[in-house]
Structures are given as structure tokens and as C-alpha cells.
Structure 1
Amino acid sequence: MGRLHPLIVHFPVGLLCIALLLEAVGWFRKSTDMQAGIRAMVWIGAISSVVAAALGLVLVNQDDYGGDTVTIHQWSGLATMTLALLTVLALRSGRIELYRGLLIATVLGVSLAGHFGAMLTHGDDYLSSVLPFGKGSGSPTGSGSQFAFASATTANQPLDDKQIGELNLEVRSILAHNCYSCHSATKTKGGLRLDKKEFVMKGGEDGEILVAGHPEKSDIIRRIKLPAGHEDAMPTKGKRLTDHDIALLEFWIQQGAPWPSGPEKSIYRVAELAPRLPALPDATADITNPVDRFVNVYFQQHKLTWKNLVDDRTYMRRVYLDVVGLLPTPATLKAFETDTRPDKRELLVKELLNRNTDYAQHWLTFWNDALRNDYTGTGYITGGRHDITSWLYTSLKANKPYNQFVRELVSPTKASAGFIKGIKWRGTINSSQRTEMQAAQNVSQVLLGLNLKCASCHDSFISDWKLADAYAFANVFADTTLEINRCDKPTGKMAGTRIIFEKLGTINGKATTKERLKELADFMVQPQDGRLYRTVVNRIWAQVMGRGIIEPVDVMDNDPWSQDLLDWLASDFVTNGYDIKKLMFTILTSKTYQLPSVGLKDADLITSPKFVFQGMVRRRLTAEQFADAVSLAFSPIYVDTSIVKEQFPKNIKREVPFPRASLVKNDPFLTALGRPNRETVSTSRSSQANLLQALELTNGEKFNDALKRGAQAWKATYPTTDVLVKNLYWKALGREPKPKEMAVAQKIVGKNPTTEGIQDLVWAISLHPEFQLIY
């Protein structure tokens, strides 16, 4: 329906302009002969403006429009609608002078809105480009990379090899993102392939698609310029090419469609595999931590200044939640705030990292998500899935070196084999979901930050990885040689056997599966596999800082906001014995970690390439953190210790005052708060609140039962309102209630505390941003 917006705008609303013209003619002739027609036009135009505005709002929300132009067009259109309605009212009331003034204003509004609408449809230069003095003549010299190419031609100089390489890379990038889905090795529609030089020059069933030096004679340019819906228009699906993309393709063909000699450079960014140790920037009097030294350089480059560090209470709560997943007690908070030792924050981090049981129970959640390990669910009943719970818990508690951790996952013992064995689904499944392919996908994603899911079905459209690469890696995990299936159809070709990054070593395809897995593990954990260690460093950084140095954390080929910081942390991680706790100590004791948190209004900014680091990104407590916080501050959500997984060491029940949420099976409460089902890898959770969470925290049985039990216990312990409220605030938020908060709390609880009043207050505090967020 939104696409009808231009139709309404182009004719019925345009009648307002004709009405003004006829009104001017009538006024000049001092005639009223055309008043009936004018009146009809004003009414039709005004009604149409309302319809056009409504359809425009539909259109702007269903298509990818953005920027100042669409904003001006939208508001000028709404203003025009308002003026048109006022014009009708003035006409009906007989106030002719006001009516004529409003009609003039309305037509000006139509013209302004129409101008910006044309800019949206035809580009900012839709008028200037056709004028003799406009930008439309000559070689393209627009913004971006095209300027560098065009500047050479305007000086009557041929493109040099570097410029040809850059131009060709951009051209192939345009083709990859817009054309490969129909014209590549996977799908060759019309006999045309655009993924290699020889195929581009050859053309398709209808002949050549370009004439070097003549974009006006090239069929590819003709087709991409045709209006959507035309039978020859390309692409047939999805978004049309932008004016910039079309201009760049024309420029490329005009230059003779040059192609660089030698091997083609990838159009996708491919991160360096080998480790790299950048030089540490100079320290200053107050900036000595290696993290801070790199961030200081970054801040200088981005003209940012260091902000004051957070106070003791904020830091203690933050580091408690990040290391052990629990709230600090009021007593520890008060002691920390009064501690005068200059190194008390470093000592606090050491103390928390040495709480091995609490550390393991908290970080178990992260690794369960990443290694898709759970205590119940699909595959367990049928024997098609095996957990690694006991192995994982003991590994975390012992702080097993990460290289050994990975080795035991890839070349597993019986206790750790569940990760690469995957889920053996019942019934017929896609070829891309067989257990060997799951192993290839999961190892690549979790350990190497690489997405092989697309390449498990066909050659990837988002990377250089091919179907044969995915099957060759899957074959490492297979007991019998795999046949390659493309889009679930057998090809008759048998897969090779090789590691995903061949620079790391060569797998013996004739060896047994056990021997191949040992080879693979040895190759992956060697220090020269910088990819493995950058990936885990980036994941740990993302967990405690709210955003990875690279985002998304599963796409390690993306640009980091600081390559030097990432590389140094990864190299230092290897040097320090692959010790995750030492890595965390370096990060958690940095001034960078202690900066005030940053709130992002738009969740998409997390993965935006324009992201600028300024400090920890504020985030919501995970489902498990929230449940444990409620249990510690108010009342245990889980009170039955029998629900703790049987495979956990028996001493857990003696070491904690309540069952940690990470130790229990998933349930509707944890699901609503964001815990995944773990049938697939989950390496990050959304920090955005949602409707399901709101409903669970409002009406959820488990949560409200816990609050009710807690209210009864609090009433028995604290019979007076003031003492009760102060203790609630200290346990939940780590501070005294403010005077206004105390006044409100007293009204809720009452002079003589009631169970219902206490429950209401506890519920309100638990939904407070100060409780739900890590600041």
C-alpha cells in the first residue's frame, strides 16, 4: 500500500496547484465562472493529501529510508496536509483572503515536499546534474573512492596498477552483493557468471554483457538502469543498485573494464591468521596498564578525553557481577568504601578470581551457551546428544589453560565429546545438519569466529568460503568420506579432508578419525594460530565490556576498533600460559574498564562499523544474574537443591546458600529473561528488554512466589518500616535510600509492614534500572 504514495502525490494532490492557477486566472479576469471546479479540486487535493501522508508513513517504515532528506520530505508533506485542510476550512467559511493565502502556502508546501521527494527517488542532483554548469558532465567525481579514480582521468592520465586494483575490487564487491545470488558458480541464471574475469567477459546465453570503453552500449548497464518490474531489469529481486554503484560500473567500463594481473584480491576482508605483537605505546604517570596505553592512543586519534573513573560502589558491583555473577553484600561494600589502600581494586579482582567455585558457576553460563551444552532438551532422551557438564565445570573451576581446553574439545575425551558430536536429529534432516557438518560449523564459529553455515549448503555469498571447504573440514570429523551435497542435492563428488585454514597444517586424510582429530587439535592450539586466541580474547572483552573489539564476535574478519589492542592482548594471553583469569585481571584492573558506562539508544550501534569506543557499554543482567541477584537480595528463586544437575560435584550444595541459576534446567522464567535453548551455538545474548520479559516479571508464577516468600521472611525479620526499607536498598542496590525513595517506600509498605506492601516494594526495586543494569 505504501507504494501507492507516489500515485496519490503525482495526480490528486497536484490538483491543488491547478486550483491555485485557476484561482489566479479568475482573480485576474474578475470572474467566478470556475469556482465550482476550483472548489472540487481543493477538496480532492486536500483529501488526497491526507491519504498521501498516510501512505507515505507506511512507505517510510516498510522500506530502508533514512537521512535528512526523508525527514524533511516527511515533515514538509505533513505540513502540506495540514495547510490543505486549513484551506478547505477557510473556503467553507467564506473567508476568501485567508483561503487564497492558505492555498498559496499549500502549493508552496507541495512544491517543497515534491522537491525532496524527487531527491529521494532520483538523487540529490536530479536537477543540477542536467544543467550545463551542474555536476553531471564529465567523468564521475562523486564522493568516496570514485573520486580517486576519476581524478586520474580528468588529468588525462591512465589509471595506475593500484587504482585499477582498487576500482576492480569495488566493482566485484558490487557484483557480489547484488548479482552473485543468480550469477555465480552456485547458480548460473541465463548462462551468466559474474564471479570471475573470464565469465564476465564471455557473457551469457544472450551474448556479451559489456563493451569495453562504451557503457552506453553495454547490456549490463542497460538492465540495471531499467525500472523495477521491467522484464529485463536486473537484479530481479531485492534492492536496486544505487546511483553511486551504477556510476562506478559505468566508469569502470568506460576505462576499458580493466582487470588487474595476477591473483585476484578477495573482495571480503580476511583477517591475518598469524599472531602479531605490536609495540606498547609509551606509559604516562597515570596510564600504565597496557590496555589503557593502547586506548589512550585511540582516544587521541578520536579526540576523546578520559573521564573520571566510577566510584567504589559502582566498580565493586560491576566487577562482582562480571567475575562471579553475584551482588556484593552490604558488609563487603561498606568495607571496600572505607578501605584506604591505593591498590584495593586490584586486590578485589584477585580475591574474586580466586573464588573458584563462584567463578565456575558464573562463567558456566557463558560456556554452556557457546558450546551448546544444556541439562535437558532435544536429543537427550533419544541418546542423540551428550552433555559435557562435569568436564566443563571442573575445567572452569581449575582454570584450565585455554589451549588444553580447546584441545580436549576438538580431540575429546569421553567427558568432553558432546561438543563435536553435536545433535543426532531424529528423522530426515538437511545435509548441512549432519553431525560432522555441525562439528565443522561449531568449531569454526566458537573457536575461530568464522561462519561456515552458508558454505555448508552452497558457496557462500558473504565470504570466500566454498562448499568444498566446508565439506573438507567436516570430513575431518567423519568416520566415512562425505559426499558433497549442494542445497541438499548430491553432487557425486566426494569431499577432501583438510583444516579450514590450511596454513596451520595438513590433515592426513587416510588416518583414523581419532588420529585426524588429534592432528587438528595440535594444529589449532599452536601459538601461530593467532585467530584462535584473538577470538577468545575478543569474547572475554565483549562479556565484560558489553561490546567486542570486533563485532559481531562470530565474524572475526570484521575490522576491530583497535587492531593493536586486540593483537597485543592475544599475544600476551599466549605468553602468560593461555590463562583466562590473567587476561581478565589485565582488563578488569584497567582504567578503561573503570570508565563510566555508555548507554546506546539504538541496539544496532553495537555492530555498526562507525562505532566509537568510549567505555563499557551498559548492559542488562543475564537471566542467571538476575535470578541470582533476586535470590541474594530478597529471596531464593530456586529453593529445591534437588534440581541442581546430578553431575555437578556434591559439595556445591554445601558451598552456596542457594542453587545458582546456571546449575538448573531451563524453565519459562529463564527463557523469558533470555536464556537460549542451546540446541545451537549462542555466543551473545540481547541486552534489550522485551514484552515476554515484561510479562514474566509482572505475572510470572516463579518470580512472584519468590517475592511473596521473601516478603514474609522480611516482615518477620524487620518489624519496622524504616529499618526494613534501608536493608532492602542496601542488599539490592548497595546504598541508602534517598529521602524521596524512603517516602515512597513508606507509603507502599505502610507504617506497620504488610506482606503485600513488602512484596510490592521488592517488585518495584527489582525492576529498577539500577538493579537490572550493569552500570
Structure 2
Amino acid sequence: MLSGVFGFWMWQFLGRLHPLMVHFPVALLVVALVLEAIAFRKKNDVLRPGIQVVLAVGAASAVLAVMFGLLLIANDDYSGDVLNAHLWFGVATAALSVVTLWFHTKIFKHQKINFLKLYRAGLLLTVIGVTVAGHLGASLTHGADFLTEVLPQADDESGPETESPASMALIKAGGDHTFTEKELDLLSLEVRTIFAHNCYKCHSADKIKGELRLDKKEFVMKGGESGPVIDLKDPDNSELVRRISLPRSDEDVMPSKGKSLSKDEIAIIKLWISKGAHWPDNAGEIKLFPMAALAPRTPALPPARPGDNNAVDRFVGAYFDKNKIEWPTLIDDKLYIRRVYLDIVGLLPPPETIDAFVANKNPDKRNQLVKELLGMNDAYAQHWLTFWNDALRNDYTGTGYITGGRFGITDWLYESLRDNKPYDAFVRELISPGKRSEGFIRGIQWRGTINASQRVEMQAAQNVSQVLLGLNLKCASCHDSFVSDWKLKDAYAFASIFSDTTLEINRCDKPTGKMAGTKILFEELGTIDSTVSVEEKLKQLSVFLTSPKNGRLYRTLVNRMWAQLMGRGIIEPVDLMDNKPWSQDLLDWLASDFVENNHDIKTLIYTIVTSRTYQLPSVALDDENKINSESFAFGGPLLRRLSAEQFADAVSTVVYPLYPDSTRQYVPAVPASSFARSSLVKNDNLLTALGRPNRENVTTKRSSQANLLQAMELTNGAMFNTVLARGARQWQVKYATSDQLVHEVYRKALGRNPAEAERKAAVAILGPKPEANGVEDLLWSVLLLPEFQLIQ
């Protein structure tokens, strides 16, 4: 690491120059846009030399701002989704500024006027990008409401009236009422809840503004840098009451950001002080965030209706009734066979198999087809290997493998999938591993000096909690989490299970001098013996986590499988299992049924894909962000894009093998075929462009949206175009007439005959006898059709 060469302070110091550097591109790029607008209006180029200088300095400072920003991220206490968005908008803006400068140079120095529109579009996008990045940066330093809090509607002297029945009852009782011990406890709980929701962001262990903390009794009674904030003898003149009662415009008002406290909330705090500021010694921490129940639950099945042969449909039917949704007509056989082939084995169905399936009159043929596909053990394993490689960050090359600091689990994983290992055994072997399965919890041994939150024990704690339990422990690995109630001490106690030494707690990478205990996240599952070896601790953990009473483990798994097959989990995001499901009963029943069926993943898949629910027409969302919306309403499987591996294998099937069989990384016990499945090969530019991650981090959900990188790779990518050219020559040799060739291309790629208009257009391009270039164009155009690229 650089800090090891020049000293940590230097890089931290340079990182903190990031805000200074940011102002250069912000100002100069906006100036460039203004100058360009003037030049456009006056229709002359007299300002062109000045614009060139401004763009050059702006682009250079934008690049430097990104570099210093990366140093700031690496050496200071910043994390979260806003940071990631700020980072990538900043990187994109810097890149755009360089491209814009290049376009302008072509105009200014080489007089290439055809670049003018591209340059102006680039400049406009750059200014938009730097504006968005700047806003996100301000959100990081000043809060998400930095802009909105000054708007008229935000300048409200009081927030909404409290809706807590307990609060209303306490206020109504009044100061003259003699409070019982139970009422005092309730009053204390109400006050601590108000503190937690409104004050902790500035006055808790994570941030102590004015030396005041309001999260523990002793700190509240002590007060802040100006002295005590509570006056038991004169509650109305307490500094705390004075501050929360100030107008919103006053610089001393508390809370300083967001809405002021409501009148009822202020009244509750006054009443609490007047009654002695009661704070029970055994008062637990206030939970700010919801947490799902841990125990399993088996809900009763809703009444069956005609055609409800699957329990899934009974729950979905009840959901449709509640939300006044009509059952759509089910998809036809051609769509169903394509969908289920791609979902179970990741391949396109052969044309002759489609024909036979459509002609089959057996009413049970869809169920039989699913059984046949699930029985294709190697094809099933090769497809689902992609999902588990992403989740368990298993790969064949990359960071860690070069230095011997990372350990593959492909042999063990492939055999587990092929043999349909029960999920409880699968999890136990991951957590308490042998040599073949130890790579998951051993993580990546990064080179050089690393952040304390990325030591291998902490990686294990983070990844086990994310993948197996659907909870985010990453924030809590650096400091008390801002997105959940998990604390830094919880993360370190859990990480200690994976460690053979006692861990010292580091907060934001700074040692605290406190040593971590050893504790499972959900203590009701069991107690870990901290005195035994790490191997024994892992064995205990593996037993506790797979216990039948850990409903969360099995809900997390069935939710992930539902998301893979339906495009969206019953809970989203799939890593946040404390979020509200759109059907709690369906989720609980699937998890309970999964356990009753001996943790059999194939049985779970069979249950889902043979349901009428799975066979509903796909639903398209115009905005991928709506997937995570709380207002999401289930109406059927989401329209999905083929994964990188599905697309690559489809190209290999239709056109020409992208990967010769010799390129696969996993060889033992895998039957030889005409091409290597893309799940078994190293990552490359094509797969990366299509969405395959580098697997240095856990990936449990890939984006289904197309992007510019994909478009570029499928248009100009060398690998893709080489395969198209080779495939075109084979197709040209095999079919003597264009009519035959077009017919077979459509059948093999899309599972149908071409429409007459499609046939005529293709034949007109190819001519009576196909030429290689024309065939290549035809293959390319068919592969880029939404019908080919989407799972409908």
C-alpha cells in the first residue's frame, strides 16, 4: 500500500484536498458551457481559444479531483450508497470532460466541424454530471436534505403531530398526575425513541456534536460543552427544551437538520424532565430499524380454487384478491419451454424439442418437462454455478489468485450442485469447511496494509451474514451501522468466531483498545464457546445457523431463488431480509416447505416453476429502481435480460462456440461437449460487458438493464465479431439457399419460423445464394433482437 511507503498521514492529507480540487472542474466546466453558449449565439469562433484553455484546465482538475477523492475514500470515514453514487458520477464526469476536450481539440486545432454536435453534447453532459456529483458530495458532508431543507415547505416550525397513542395518553395525563413506575418507564421509552429518531445523527457514539450524547443515561445527565442540558428544578428553562423549542430559522435550533420536533414531542420531553427525567438502569437500546422475526412460521393455506394445484398459487390468489388483480392468461407452450430451459439449465431449447413439446397433448407435460430438466444434473450444475460463484465470490482468476491469497471452491461447488446436496449440509460445509470448501470464509488476503474492516475474519462475518442471512454487516464493521441496529461490537463479536486470536475493535480503522467478545448475531440460536479452537467454533456456528429454528436462513434462500426465477424477490433487495415482503405468508410457507422437503433446492425450483404464477406473462418495468419500491405490486414474473453466461451460451449454440471445450477451468467429471459453458471459463471483455462481476465482492443480484458498454461490445467487440464471422461461414456452407438459411436461423435462435415479412426482408439482403458477409449481418441482427436477448 502507498501508506506503507510514504506514511498514512500524507495520503490522508492529500485526500482531504479533494474538496479544494473539486471546485476547479465545477467552476471551469460551467464557465466553458457559458462561453460556448455565447459563441453559439454570436455564431463565431472568437472565443474558441479561451474555451480550449478552460476545458483543458477543467478536465485536468476533474481527473485530479477523482484521484484525490479515491485517496479520501481509502483513508477517511466515508461509506454507503451515496458515496458510491458520488464516486461513479465523479469518475464519469472526469472521463466525459476528457472526451469533451478531445472533441473540442478536433474542432479548434484540426477544424473538424463534424465534431461540433458531439462536443456540445459532451460538454452539456459533463456539466450535468459535475452538478449531480457535487450534490451527492454535499449530501455526504451536509446531509441528504442539504438543498431541500431551505425550501419553504421545509421551513416549518414543527413537524407532524405524533401519532403514538402512548404519547397522547401521557400528555393527556399531564404534570399533576402521579405517574406509576410503569408509566414512567413508558414515558422514558417515548423520550428515548424521540432522541433516537431525531438526535442520534449528531449526538450519539457515532457523532458527538458539542460534546453532547443523548443515547445513554449518564451522558444525558452530564450534558455537553456548555454544561447540563436538563434542569430538573425548572424543566421549561432546560437548555434541551430551549433548543428544541426555537424557531426553525434560529442557528441554535435542535435538531439542526431536517424538521423540528412536533409540539407533542416537545411536550413529552418537558413532561419527562418534570417527572425527574426517569431513565431505567436496565433500559435497552432503542431499535430504529425493523428486524424480521427469526423463528420459522408455517401459515395456513388459503382456500383452493379451480386450477390451484400448487400452494404458491393459493397464496398469490389471495394476494390478487386483496389487491383487486385479475389472473392473466398463462403463456403459451413456446414461451414456457424457452423460459424454463433458460431458468433451469441456462440453455435455449432445441427447435425439435420445442416442436415435440407443442405437439404433446399430455395435460401434465409442463410438470414432466421440469422434471426432465432438473434431472439433467451436469447442465443444471453448469448453469447454477454462475449464481453461486457470484454469491460466494468464487472465480478462476483475478485478485488473490495471483498471490496465493485466495482459494477456489469450484470442485466442491460443482459437485454439490450436480448431486443436489441438501442446503443445510451445503451451508455447514461452507461455514465449517474442509480444504475443498474453505475458500468462502477464507475470503481474499489482500496485499499490503488494509482497512481493519477487510481483514479475513471480518470478510467472513460480512459475507456469511449477507449471503446466508440477508443482512448488511459491512457498515457495522467500521462503526455502528447507519442503516440497521447492528453495532460495531456485534460485527467484531461475530468476526471473532472466525478468528484464532482475540480481535481488538477498530472504529473507522482506529484501534479503540477494547477487545471483542465472541457471539453469534442472533444469540437465541446458541452460545459460541470462545475458549475452544477456531475449528470448533466454526463447527458450533454451522450447527446453530442451520438449526430448524433459524427461519431466517431458509427464508433468505427461498427469497433468492424466487428472485432468480421471477426477476424480483418477495423481499427486495434480497440482501435486506428485514424489509417488508409483498407476501409474508408466501415467503414463510415456501421456507417451511423447503425445510420439510429436506432442504432440497431442486424441489423448491420445481414448486415455483410449475406454479401458474411462474407461467404468467412477464411484466416490464420502465424503471429498474421500481423493483425496490415499497409500493411494488406483484403481477407476474418480471421481463428479464439474459445473463452474460446465458447470452454467451446461446451464441455458442446458435452461431459458433465462443469458448472451445479446452478453455474451461473446471475439467473433472464434466462431460465433453462442442463448446465450454461460459460459467466454466475465465472472465473476459465480452462477459464483463454483459454483466459478469469480477467477484472480488459478493454479488447476489445483477442488473437486468442494458448499458452502453454492452452495446459497444455487441457492435464492435473483437471476440463477438470473430465468432459471428466464423459462424457465418459455417451457415453459408451448410445451406445452399437463403430461404433455407433464414428459416433455420430463426428456428434455432428464436424457436419459431420467421414471419413472412421477416423472411422477405432477410432474403432480399442475402440474395438468392447467401454470402458470408450477408449471413454475418443476419446473425448479428437476430442476436440483437429483444426477443433473443430477453426472457419473456
TM-score by length of 2: 0.75
SS in 2 for 1:759: helix
Structure 1 residues without counterparts, runs of 5 or longer? 5-54, 65-116, 130-135
Residue 648 (structure 1) aligns with: 667
Describe how 1:308-457 pairs up with structure 2 within 5 A.
Answer: 308-457=329-478
**Match for 1:648: what amino acid?**
V
Describe how 1:153-552 pairs up with structure 2 within 5 A.
Answer: 176=196, 179-196=199-216, 199-200=219-220, 203-207=223-227, 218-221=241-244, 225-226=248-249, 232=252, 240-242=257-259, 249-250=265-266, 252-253=268-269, 256=272, 263=284, 265-552=286-573
Q: Percent identity?
A: 58
SS in 2 for 1:491: strand
Deviates further, 170-179 or 623-632: 170-179
Distance between the aligned counterparts of 1:540 and 1:294, measured in 2?
17
The answer (yes or no) to whether the contact 1:224–1:235 under 8 Å persists in 2 is no
CA 1:431 to 1:58, structure 2 compared with 1: closer, same or farther past 3 Å?
closer
**Match for 1:375: what amino acid?**
Y
The answer (yes or no) to whether the contact 2:244–2:255 under 8 Å persists in 1 is no
Q: Following TM superposition, by how much is the alpha carbon of 1:750 offset from its aligned partner in structure 2, in angstroms?
A: 2.8
The answer (yes or no) to whether the contact 2:212–2:223 under 8 Å persists in 1 is yes
SS in 1 for 2:506: strand
**Match for 1:628: what amino acid?**
D
Distance between the aligned counterparts of 1:523 and 1:118, measured in 2?
47
CA 1:242 to 1:616, structure 2 compared with 1: closer, same or farther past 3 Å?
farther
CA 1:171 to 1:710, structure 2 compared with 1: closer, same or farther past 3 Å?
farther
Q: Following TM superposition, by how much is the alpha carbon of 1:657 offset from its aligned partner in structure 2, in angstroms?
A: 2.5
Residue 676 (structure 1) aligns with: 693
Task: Give a deviation string over 1:402-449, Cα, whole Å, max 9, x none.
Answer: 011001000001000111111111110011111111111111111111
Deviates further, 186-195 or 462-471: 186-195
Work out whether 1:753 is the aligned partner of 2:783. no
Larger-gyration structure (1/2): 1
CA 1:179 to 1:631, structure 2 compared with 1: closer, same or farther past 3 Å?
farther
Describe how 1:564-583 pairs up with structure 2 within 5 A.
Answer: 564-583=585-604
Task: Give a deviation string over 1:352-410, Cα, whole Å, max 9, x none.
Answer: 00000000000000000000000001111211111001000010000000011001000
Deviates further, 577-586 or 497-506: 497-506
Task: Give a deviation string over 1:263-301, Cα, whole Å, max 9, x none.
Answer: 455221111111111111111121231111111111111
The answer (yes or no) to whether the contact 1:497–1:507 under 8 Å persists in 2 is yes
Distance between the aligned counterparts of 1:259 and 1:146, measured in 2?
22
The answer (yes or no) to whether the contact 1:210–1:220 under 8 Å persists in 2 is no
Task: Give a deviation string over 1:302-361, Cα, whole Å, max 9, x none.
Answer: 111111111111111111111000011111111111111111111111110000000000
**Match for 2:766: what amino acid?**
V
Q: Following TM superposition, by how much is the alpha carbon of 1:218 offset from its aligned partner in structure 2, in angstroms?
A: 2.9
TM-score by length of 1: 0.77
Selected match of 2:710 from 684, 693, 704: 693
Distance between the aligned counterparts of 1:605 and 1:739, measured in 2?
38
The answer (yes or no) to whether the contact 2:229–2:238 under 8 Å persists in 1 is no
Distance between the aligned counterparts of 1:377 and 1:417, measured in 2?
18
Work out whether 1:661 is the aligned partner of 2:682. no
Residue 124 (structure 2) aligns with: none
Q: Following TM superposition, by how much is the alpha carbon of 1:60 offset from its aligned partner in structure 2, in angstroms?
A: 10
**Match for 2:729: what amino acid?**
Q
Residue 721 (structure 1) aligns with: 738
CA 1:747 to 1:359, structure 2 compared with 1: closer, same or farther past 3 Å?
same
The answer (yes or no) to whether the contact 1:436–1:474 under 8 Å persists in 2 is yes
Q: Following TM superposition, by how much is the alpha carbon of 1:163 offset from its aligned partner in structure 2, in angstroms?
A: 12
Distance between the aligned counterparts of 1:492 and 1:58, measured in 2?
41
The answer (yes or no) to whether the contact 1:226–1:234 under 8 Å persists in 2 is no
CA 1:166 to 1:638, structure 2 compared with 1: closer, same or farther past 3 Å?
farther
Deviates further, 764-773 or 166-175: 166-175
Task: Give a deviation string over 1:163-193, Cα, whole Å, max 9, x none.
Answer: 9999998986775566534421233222112
Distance between the aligned counterparts of 1:119 and 1:440, measured in 2?
38
Task: Give a deviation string over 1:203-236, Cα, whole Å, max 9, x none.
Answer: 4222455786799983443678237xx5x46667
SS in 2 for 1:484: strand
SS in 2 for 1:615: coil
Task: Give a deviation string over 1:495-537, Cα, whole Å, max 9, x none.
Answer: 1112111111111111111111111111111111111111111
The answer (yes or no) to whether the contact 1:221–1:246 under 8 Å persists in 2 is no
The answer (yes or no) to whether the contact 2:171–2:268 under 8 Å persists in 1 is no
SS in 1 for 2:514: strand
**Match for 1:193: what amino acid?**
R
Q: Following TM superposition, by how much is the alpha carbon of 1:194 offset from its aligned partner in structure 2, in angstroms?
A: 3.0
SS in 1 for 2:387: helix
Distance between the aligned counterparts of 1:165 and 1:558, measured in 2?
29
Residue 31 (structure 2) aligns with: none
Distance between the aligned counterparts of 1:281 and 1:439, measured in 2?
40
Residue 750 (structure 2) aligns with: 733
The answer (yes or no) to whether the contact 1:441–1:452 under 8 Å persists in 2 is yes
CA 1:746 to 1:252, structure 2 compared with 1: closer, same or farther past 3 Å?
farther
CA 1:605 to 1:379, structure 2 compared with 1: closer, same or farther past 3 Å?
same
Q: Following TM superposition, by how much is the alpha carbon of 1:249 offset from its aligned partner in structure 2, in angstroms?
A: 4.5
CA 1:773 to 1:170, structure 2 compared with 1: closer, same or farther past 3 Å?
farther
Aligned residues: 648
Residue 28 (structure 1) aligns with: none
Deviates further, 245-254 or 418-427: 245-254
SS in 2 for 1:670: helix
**Match for 2:718: what amino acid?**
E
Q: Following TM superposition, by how much is the alpha carbon of 1:751 offset from its aligned partner in structure 2, in angstroms?
A: 3.0
The answer (yes or no) to whether the contact 2:167–2:268 under 8 Å persists in 1 is no
Distance between the aligned counterparts of 1:164 and 1:315, measured in 2?
62
The answer (yes or no) to whether the contact 1:197–1:259 under 8 Å persists in 2 is no
Residue 61 (structure 2) aligns with: none
Q: Following TM superposition, by how much is the alpha carbon of 1:571 offset from its aligned partner in structure 2, in angstroms?
A: 0.8
**Match for 1:759: what amino acid?**
E
Residue 70 (structure 1) aligns with: none
Distance between the aligned counterparts of 2:748 and 2:262, measured in 1?
62
Distance between the aligned counterparts of 2:539 and 2:148, measured in 1?
63
CA 1:648 to 1:56, structure 2 compared with 1: closer, same or farther past 3 Å?
closer
CA 1:721 to 1:496, structure 2 compared with 1: closer, same or farther past 3 Å?
same
Q: Following TM superposition, by how much is the alpha carbon of 1:547 offset from its aligned partner in structure 2, in angstroms?
A: 0.5
Structure 2 residues without counterparts, runs of 5 or longer? 1-22, 28-126, 137-146
The answer (yes or no) to whether the contact 2:382–2:677 under 8 Å persists in 1 is yes
Residue 743 (structure 1) aligns with: 760
The answer (yes or no) to whether the contact 1:209–1:219 under 8 Å persists in 2 is no
The answer (yes or no) to whether the contact 1:748–1:760 under 8 Å persists in 2 is no
